[in-house]
Chains A and B, each alone.
Chain A
Amino acid sequence: DQQVKQNSPSLSVQEGRISILNCDYTNSMFDYFLWYKKYPAEGPTFLISISSIKDKNEDGRFTVFLNKSAKHLSLHIVPSQPGDSAVYFCVSRNSGGSNYKLTFGKGTLLTVNP
């Protein structure tokens, strides 16, 4: 039973354009969401996060949007750069006692073409 779903296994965009990565979740107990980026042969690296009390968080070229009623979030990267090519994981965290436990989606492989 997958609680965090990334329905697009891959996405390809041109350099300079916008990349939009989508994520849906099913567990209403999730109150904090993160995006991690992963290059081959490396561990995931934290990118950006958003609390459930917000609907948008921006950090440079990266913006995360949260639609709590739809249980949907998205990561926007603009402008996209070739160095952004990586696997992006949508990650959620429980509220309450086990809030250390991260739940990962399967990831979306982003390829940014020069």
Chain B
Amino acid sequence: NAGVMQNPRHLVRRRGQEARLRCSPMKGHSHVYWYRQLPEEGLKFMVYLQKENIIDESGMPKERFSAEFPKEGPSILRIQQVVRGDSAAYFCASSSGTNTDTQYFGPGTRLTVL
């Protein structure tokens, strides 16, 4: 009974490169959320997706960041032209049918931008 899976666990990129973070929700979950944790901070909401739909991306920077949750396959958080300030831990969470259900978090991807 696998939980939320994220890969890679660690990702190192140079400034200007692209970062792709993947999240596979728990089995049976169709709601996915991405959060970012900067050093010494709490997690901050970025985006909420259901299959093939972005429901709320109000927490995501307007430029360089995008997210998708295709009909098949994992959810992807994509960061183009990374900058040092993008260095953070990125957590994915999933929940079952209703969006008020408990969110279960993956182990996170730690992105380091050199």
B43 within 8 A of A: yes
**Residues of B with C-beta under 8 A to A103:** 45
A44–B48 contact, CB under 8 A? no
Contact of B100 among A36, A42, A46, A99 (CB under 8 A): A99
Chief secondary structure at chain B's binding surface: strand
Give the nearest-CB partner of B91 in chain A: A43
How many positions in chain B have a CB within 8 Å of any CB in the partner chain? 27
Evaluate whether A44 and B100 lie within 8 angstroms (CB atoms) in the complex, with A100-B56, A106-B41 already known: no
CA distance A106 to B43 in the complex (A): 8
**Residue B96 is within 8 A (CB to CB) of chain A in the complex:** no
Inside 8 A of B4's CB, which chain A residues have their CB?
43
A32 surroundings in chain B (CB, below 8 A): 100
**Which parts of B83-108 form the interface with A (CB within 8 Å)?**
91, 93, 95, 99-100, 102-108
Residue pair B33, A100 in contact (C-beta under 8 Å): yes
Given contacts A4-B42, A106-B40, A106-B42, contact A101 B56 (CB under 8 A): yes
Q: How near does chain A come to B54, taking the closest CB pair, in angstroms?
A: 13
Q: A43-B4, A105-B42, A106-B41 are in contact. Are A98 and B108 (CB under 8 A)?
A: no
Which chain B residue lies CB-closest to A90?
B42
Tell which of A43, A99, A102 has the most Cβ of chain B within 10 Å: A43
A45 within 8 A of B: yes
- Least Cβ distance of B69 to chain A in Å? 14
CA distance A25 to B6 in the complex (A): 31
Q: Does A89 contact B (CB under 8 A)?
A: yes
Q: Which 9 A-B pairs have the closest CB atoms?
A: A104-B42, A43-B105, A100-B99, A104-B43, A106-B42, A44-B105, A101-B45, A43-B107, A43-B106
Residues of A within 8 A of B (CB): 4, 32, 36, 41-46, 49, 89, 93, 98-107
